[in-house]
Chain A
């Protein structure tokens, strides 16, 4: 199971990467493996405002529906259209090609509740 060192994680199995003040969000390798073959990803529209813990994205496999929650309040700044067309990218490349959305956060990210790679790895073991 891959857990890149340079990312932050939530206990809901999402990863967060800070890119020039934006937060890129996806689901972890562990999460995609648990869901199984992903057949549908419902992404929000760019410009939509989200509150912390709002549902950002729905990721559906043949077996179940997984919800991705927003780690912060903010505005959707970018979405990965490629995963809408090819949901299996989330399975094959959860940290790179299978990223989901980027958020412009309102204010600073409170990362006290986020996990580093070591802590996240422990959570999934």
Chain B
């Protein structure tokens, strides 16, 4: 099993470690709920060293990104980050990822942890590109929360805008920082060498920032309505069905474009919808869903720590409208709720 550069610190902090895509990572330090609320109310930091990441360079890099990803870097410029997806020819989501466009000719690609080998291999096949793995050689820390930007300024002496990237030296090591995250809160994610990462983590702890595990990261991203690849997205679902059309640019050629154009023009048979339960119970992955229009299954669900009620996402065919009533079957009992547009909690 792979281990983070912060492993010893995580153990020292009493983290409960579990397997995340072949990485032994903290699921919680003390309490998922308390860690969740720390991020919603003040700030927390996460060891996310398991996340995929590799550098992409070479004269063919821009073309490879344009061909292999459905969003378009022409929409942004160096020093910015963009959410995008790699699709199959049938429009299915092979991976959803973030690209950090650091300088004119250097891009860092951040796939999901489990998809790193596959995504990196797809880029490596392209002419005129080199790929360099960063997952095994660096550490990654996310700092998130309404006080996240202030924490970053106090500890790292930097400010970074939403979806902007920065490179600087700190504590004797190189740090790459982006104004990104997976919680619905402001803040950023940084990549650095293992030694500097330990110094950053120690500085965050000294500053009173709570270490948070991947359990809270999951409830936070769900409350923020952010899909998780492998649950809400996979190769059988398209970005259009998942409501991720904002990250598809039809003004360039990319793998899967024809399939998405057909779907865009013909209409959707099903769609990923958000729901909130009014009745008691916790919706979970795979639980059946019914509405007056269509039926489906929960892809992600949990108790929302902020709303203190069950929330989730489900593919429903044919898709209902926001405001429609909906029921989720929880252990043989249909629990009432309604279709809402995520995020479930707005900061």
Contact = CB atoms under 8 A, between A and B. Distances in A.
A40 B31 CA distance: 15
A36 B35 CA distance: 12
A36 B215 contact: yes
A36 B282 contact: no
Contacts of A42: 280-281, 331
B284 to A, nearest CB: 7
A39 interface: yes
B145 interface: no
A36 B28 contact: yes
B84 interface: no
Contacts of B32: 36-37, 61-63
B34 to A, nearest CB: 8
A39 B215 CA distance: 14
Interface in A19-67: 36-37, 39-40, 42, 58, 60-63, 65
A63 B215 contact: yes
Q: Is the interface of A mostly helix, strand, loop or mixed?
A: strand
Contacts of B16: 36
Nearest to B32: A62
Interface residues of A, number: 12
A37 B282 contact: no
B113 interface: no
Given A37-B33, A39-B33, A42-B281, A63 B331 contact: no
A40 B311 CA distance: 13
Nearest to A58: B331
Nearest to B28: A36
A79 to B, nearest CB: 14
Contacts of B34: 37
Given A36-B32, A37-B32, A62 B305 contact: yes
B31 A37 contact: yes
Nearest to A39: B303
B329 to A, nearest CB: 14
A58 to B, nearest CB: 7
A124 B182 CA distance: 35
16 contacts: A36-B16, A36-B31, A37-B32, A37-B34, A39-B282, A39-B302, A39-B305, A40-B280, A42-B331, A58-B331, A60-B303, A62-B33, A62-B215, A62-B219, A63-B32, A65-B284
Given A60-B282, A63-B27, 4 more contacts: A37-B34, A40-B280, A42-B281, A63-B28
